[in-house]
Chains A and B, each alone.
Chain A
Amino acid sequence: MIGVAPPEHDPAAPETAATLPVGSPATVRRYVGGLLRRHRRAFVVLVAVNAVAVIASMVGPYLLGRVVDDLAAGARELHLGRVTLLFALALAVQTVFVRLVRLRGAMLGEEMLADLREDFLVRSVGLPPGVLERAGTGDLLSRITTDIDRLANAMREAVPQLAIGVVWVGLLFGALAATAPPLALAALLALPVLVTGCRWYFKRAPSAYRSEAAGYAAVAAALTETVDAGRTVEGHRLGRRRIALSERRITEWTAWERYTLFLRSVLFPVINVTFVVILGSVLLIGGYCVLRGWLSVGQLTTGALLAQMMIDPIGLILRWYDELQIAQVSLARLVGVREIEPEAGDPGLAPEGRDVRADEVRFGYREGVDVLHEVSLSVPPGTRMALVGPSGAGKSTLGRLLAGIYAPRAGEVTLGGARLSRMPAERVREHVALVNQEHHVFVGSLRDNLRLARTDAGDAELWTALAAVDAEDWARALEDGLDTEVGSGGTALTPAQAQQIALARLVLADPHTLVLDEATSLLDPRAARHLERSLARVLDGRTVVAIAHRLHTAHDADVIAVVEGGRISELGSHDQLVAADGAYAALWRSWHG
């Protein structure tokens, strides 16, 4: 066999930097240990049930050996009836217990898997908002889909099957040794071949299979993207390029298929040779022993049949072992999320009053590069403030600091005299809420989508909130009203409607201070203004900091802060700023004609 080198391009290599930590081997070991301890009882039951099934399966060869012995000795009385009955009985036991093994194995695997995925989500929803903002949700998303999927196979099949396989081989070998010790030694002759072959294989296999799977996923992903971008592809005449891309992905994927096929082309003969060596040496060495009178023919028969049975568990172990290795990598990524310290905060810290203040705040996403420079700002209770300015000036960053999502590098942001960054996220959001452009509609009913803001809200309250954001009309028109399934797969909502839902949640949560980051940017401009006005009526008396692309939002605000280059360059009411004839005034004029 000519060797095949692993392809150079690795589709499993990360394309963007991993934004969340990956668990260390120690953490993974600790976690697996905990998982096994939690399911200790089920594990013991599985092993015991399996042992019974295997022992019952060995009764046949044993009985046949006895019969052969008797026949070879020319015995007159074979007790065939008794032998048949015993065999049938053993078969019945084996049947029942094989069923139990399969079932118990699946139950154990499924329970561990459910534990694992639920654990992971519990951890994920406890992540500090600042970590989420920085890391984005992409990395987390790939962990909960791809990695959980990979683990599913391992937990559902590999762990129970490996346990079964190991017990099985052990018992068969034990039985072989009990039947005739020389035969057990003969079977061991195959061990060097197996060990050498497997070591070679398992050193290469797991990462190769990971790349192969990623390569195959990339084929489908390229096509999915072409479908998703149908209009763009046609408009830009990218059809041929997309076909070429799909074909390149196929080339990359099949290169890995070819490599793993090569790996198996080495492994398969190794397994087959192992098997033949076991069978051959048992037959020949055993036969020699019989000829020498050290063993009976019956012992040889039983031994040969047991040796023949060994192929199944050996195949089982090899089949699932690499699955387990692949799973290990995924597990490390899942467990890694546990290494993020939940932001404890100071539970005793509570704001007194509703004054929002920023004092000489400096902040940057990267070491040494500040986005905000000594920003000071005071927002008295009930003020409606608009932040305007060019992209990248730091408006959204300032908004997030005011909402307590990031902690300033220097200076402090306080609410009612208490530092926001020291308060736990759950406390902060009782007082301050941030609504941004991210208008996520959750899969589920419209009711669930609203109720998350106030879990005990009744339908009447939900309708009031919808009315406050001009959403009542379309919501009433939905076929199932609040029970309508929305989100991906359900009734499709327009981006504008999604944004209205986000705002309705805000009305329900009813914090006294709100930060709206482009909260109405997706609405048709006139509807946006109407919505902002009806929202203003509901939010009357609340402090609102609105980050605005559209100048009418600024026009309607009490105070406007122009943010430029990480500093506040102008501050005042619309009329004051227009009269000052600065940057804002210039923009306003070109806007309004």
Chain B
Amino acid sequence: MQISDLPYRDPGVPDARSGPRFLWWLGRNQRANQLVALGWGLLHFCGIAGLPFCVGLGVEAVVDRDGGRLLRAGGLLLLAGAATALGDTMLHRAAVTNWITAAARVQQLLARKTAELGSALTRRVAAGEVVAVSTGDVEKIGWFVEAVSRFLAAAFAVVAICAGLLVLSPALGVVVAVGVPLLALAVLPLLPRATRRADAQREKAGRATELASDTVAGLRVLRGIGGEELFLGRYRDASQEVRQAAVHSARMWSLISAVQVLLPGALLVTVIWYGASLVQDGRIAVGELVTVFSAVATMLYPLRHFEEIAMAYSFSRPSAKRAARVLSLTRDAHTAARSADDSPAAAPGAGAVSAPEPGGDLYDPETGVLAPAGLLTAVVCGDPDLAGRLAERLGGHPAGADASASVLLGGVPLDELTLDQARTLVLVQDKDPVLLSGTLRELLDVPASGQVTAERALTAARCSDVLEALLQSAPDGVTDPMDARITERGRSLSGGQRQRLALARSLVTDPEVLVLDEPTSAVDSHTEARIAEGVAELRRGRTTVVLASSPLLLDRADRVVLVHEGRAAAFGTHRDLLRSDGRYRAVVTRETEEEQRRAATEPVRRDTARPGALAEALRGGHGDGLMGEHGDELMGGLTDRLPDEFSEIEESA
């Protein structure tokens, strides 16, 4: 596996039963690369181990006044050097490749899992966990998986050097062979505490960064109303806490550094003291002493890998555990089986139900809400949460699918279809649709019927000023608003602008049934009226449900349903209901109770007090001439008549 071959066409099915199993699975999947790394690692460490022998040989040759042997020692040194260089570079390449392929594989697995979980993520604590795995844990997991082969090579090198020393000079070799395991293990007891302190420091640093970015995010509020000193003081405290935690952590790491100097040094002192006396007794040569000294000094490098693997494991174990937990999440049991595969035949039970014929009514048996095919139905709930739940039900496969009866489209229960089928038939735009970052073109490039162009959708959602705003913030050289970028969640746009772009996206999709939950709550009344007109026009002949409470939207609907205490309580046109139903009037006009009482007792005065209403009454009642002359100018053709619309629908159907 080369880096250039990434991403994997299929990242595979992970063994996510536990953290260690997951690590094992990752390692096993890159066996070949692990072996390559091991091979180069051996060459690298052997080269390194060879260097001191060459130096020893050279010194020996000089002592013996033998120029030829000195040259041979020099030649060997070059050879060892070449092996070191080649081994070092290739080991690094192999190790980095292992790291990257492991990290890429986990990221791919996460991406697939996230797409599979979809809306289930918003209901679970899991959202934070997925992000945590992707941003922090992947690196640690990759580190451990990659470090294994390096560690094995290093371990082999250490054993080989010790064995070589034992052969070369048994007496000194024994000293080294006994000393080395001690060196390898000495700092291990300190590591857990050091990593704990490092974690504490990271956590504090994260907190400080959060405070800083939070302060900056709310800076306009602070500058507008005051309190900068309060927040600066808070940040200074947090920043100083980070500093103290970092120094606290550095104390432990500096202790580890000291131990790493002291123990090998002690071994060196022992080697000099014991070795020199051996030389004096004539039991070993001077060159051998230099070799042993040099070898001990060299061995410190592979020995570091013993510490590294211990650290890598202690860091990656919790990370792997979290990753395994995330990767073993499923959509709730009810839908998991069906969403696992997109082809209906493969899904158990789903084959029994085929998609409804186009042109059926949408009916919710739970609330009794009916959206006739081809019409624009508005649903008034009064309670925003209830409206949200109703919208979700209307799309089928709602959260925490309980025993309640499924919504029917053309008589077919949506919950019985596959998730993909249901989502294709009915698009539910929730209250808080998220704008995904990218260019406007990318935003509007969603799976769609192809019948509605981006331009038409943007016009219907009255987005012209949004396009202007996007162009304004785009870098120089971007002249087409479709190429302008939308930042994450559309943060650079106002709430109303975001809503209109989201609406345009839903309109482009052009599903058989479109359910919109408060699509214009952040849009001003002028624009809202024009959007209502645009949407009604664009969706003519298609089934549309709008959950709303604004009269400007309701007035455009073919049919308005009032949901009261969880049941459809009344239906008719906006104007009918406004006249006939007090509950409806209360929800829609936001009259306070006091006003309602007054309205009930003084109906006549109320009407005559409003010249508009009088004029309207004179012009002939509801559905005709919604506004005065100026209103027509202001809102274009808002005065389309309902009867016309009906006839057109009949034609198109």
Contact = CB atoms under 8 A, between A and B. Distances in A.
A425 interface: yes
Contact of B258 (A98, A125, A132): A98
Nearest to A441: B218
B214 A234 contact: no
Nearest to A131: B223
B271 to A, nearest CB: 9
A124 B447 contact: no
A145 B437 contact: no
A224 B135 contact: yes
Contacts of B228: 125-126
Given A229-B434, A297-B59, A549-B525, A442 B218 contact: yes
A180 to B, nearest CB: 13
Interface in B108-146: 108, 110-112, 114-122, 127, 130-131, 134-135, 138
B590 A529 contact: yes
A273 B83 CA distance: 11
Contacts of A152: 205
Given A437-B494, A438-B220, A590-B555, A268 B85 contact: yes
A196 interface: no
Nearest to B58: A283
Given A84-B273, A223-B114, A529-B590, A586 B485 contact: no
A476 B505 CA distance: 41
Chain A, interface SS category: helix
Contacts of B453: none
Tier of interface size on chain B: 35 or more
Interface in B71-102: 71, 73-74, 77-78, 80-82, 84-86, 88-89, 92-93, 96-97, 100
A223 B638 CA distance: 43
B136 to A, nearest CB: 9
Interchain residue pairs A-B with the least CB separation, the first 6: A452-B227, A586-B631, A276-B81, A234-B118, A106-B250, A272-B85
Interface in A322-358: none
B354 interface: no
Interface string A290-309: 11000001001100110011
A589 B612 contact: yes
Interface in A258-306: 258, 261, 264-265, 268-269, 272-273, 275-276, 279-280, 283-284, 287-288, 290-291, 297, 300-301, 304-305
Interface in B387-437: 395, 419-420, 423-424, 427-430, 433-434, 436-437
Nearest to B209: A145
A125 B228 CA distance: 6
Given A132-B220, A287-B62, A583-B630, A68 B6 contact: no
B212 A148 contact: yes
B343 to A, nearest CB: 14
B518 to A, nearest CB: 10
Contacts of A137: 216-217, 219-220
Contacts of A118: 235-236, 239
26 contacts: A80-B277, A87-B268, A91-B261, A102-B254, A118-B236, A220-B138, A235-B395, A235-B427, A235-B428, A235-B430, A237-B446, A261-B92, A264-B89, A272-B84, A273-B85, A283-B73, A284-B70, A388-B526, A435-B224, A442-B215, A453-B227, A454-B226, A583-B630, A585-B630, A591-B525, A593-B589
Contacts of B235: 118, 121
A71 interface: yes
B168 interface: no
B225 A429 contact: yes
A247 interface: yes
Given A257-B96, A268-B88, A591-B551, A243 B111 contact: yes
A101 B496 CA distance: 57
A505 B226 CA distance: 10
Given A125-B223, A300-B59, A391-B465, A587 B429 contact: no
Interface in B441-492: 446-447, 465, 468, 472-476, 485, 487-489, 491-492
Contact of A230 (B54, B88, B111, B122): B122
Interface stretch (A23-31, A33-41, A59-67, A373-381): A59-67
A417 interface: no
B352 interface: no
Given A102-B250, A257-B100, A455 B219 contact: no
Given A87-B269, A230-B121, A240-B115, A94 B261 contact: yes
B85 A506 contact: no
A383 B3 CA distance: 68
B222 interface: yes
